[in-house]
Amino acid sequence: MPSHHSLLHLASLLRQRHARPPGFNLFTTLRGGNDEVRLHSRFLAALLNPRAHGLGAAPLNELLERCAIRDFAWEGVRVECERWNIDILVTNARRQALLIENKVHADDQPEQLVRYHRRLREAGYREIHVRYLTLEGRDPREDSLGELRDLEEGSYAALGYYADLVPWLEACLGRAALDPPLRESLAQYRQLILQLTGHDMDNAHLETLAETLLQGDNLLGAHDIRLAYDEALARLQARLWRALKARIATQYQDMAKHISSDSWSEASLDGLCRDHVQRRQNSKGYGLYYWIPGYEKTICAGFEIEYAIYLGIYCEEQNEPERYRVLCQRLDAVGHGGSRNAYWPSFAFHPEALNLRTPSAEQLAQLSDPDRFADLVATMSDELARLWEVCRSN
Work out the burial of residue 380: count CB atoms within 10 Å of its CB; fewer than 13 is exposed, 13-18 middle, 19 or more buried: buried
Q: Is residue 101 part of a domain?
A: yes
Domain end call among 216, 248, 282: 216
* Whether 351 and 366 share a structural domain: yes
pLDDT for residue 333: 84
223 located within any domain: no
Q: Is residue 183 part of a domain?
A: yes
State whether 205 and 348 are in the same domain: no
221 in any annotated domain: no
Higher pLDDT residue, 381 or 342? 381
pLDDT at residue 150 in the model: 67
Structural domain that includes position 151: 26-196
SS3 category, 70: coil
Are both 32 and 116 inside the same structural domain? yes
Count of the separate structural domains present in the chain:
3
Task: Evaluate whether residue 146 is within a structural domain.
Answer: yes
Q: Cα dihedral sign for 14, 18, 357, 299?
A: positive
User: Which amino acid makes up residue 245?
Assistant: K
Comparing 110 with 177, which gets the higher pLDDT? 177
Regarding whether 238 and 160 lie in a shared domain, the answer is: no
pLDDT in tens, 268-283: 999 999 998 887 765 6
Each residue of 118-127: pLDDT tens digit?
999 999 998 9
Report pLDDT for 1. 39
Q: Quick one: 121 and 210 in the same domain?
A: no
Closest CA to 55 of 181, 189, 212: 181
- 166 and 39 in a common domain: yes
Q: What is the pLDDT of residues 7-21, one digit of tens each?
A: 565 566 555 555 556
Question: Both 152 and 190 in a single domain?
Answer: yes
- Residue 225 is assigned to a structural domain of this protein: no
Same domain, 55 and 180: yes
In this structure, the answer to whether residues 281 and 263 fall within a common structural domain is: yes
224 occurs within a structural domain:
no
Last residue of a domain, one of 147, 181, 216: 216
DSSP SS3 for 156: strand
Mean pLDDT estimate for the chain = 84
SS3 content of the chain, % helix, strand, coil (to 5): 50, 15, 35
Same domain flag for 122 and 240:
no
| pTM value surpassing 0.75 | no
Q: Looking at the structure, tell me whether residues 350 and 288 fall in a common domain.
A: yes
Shared domain check, 234 and 92: no
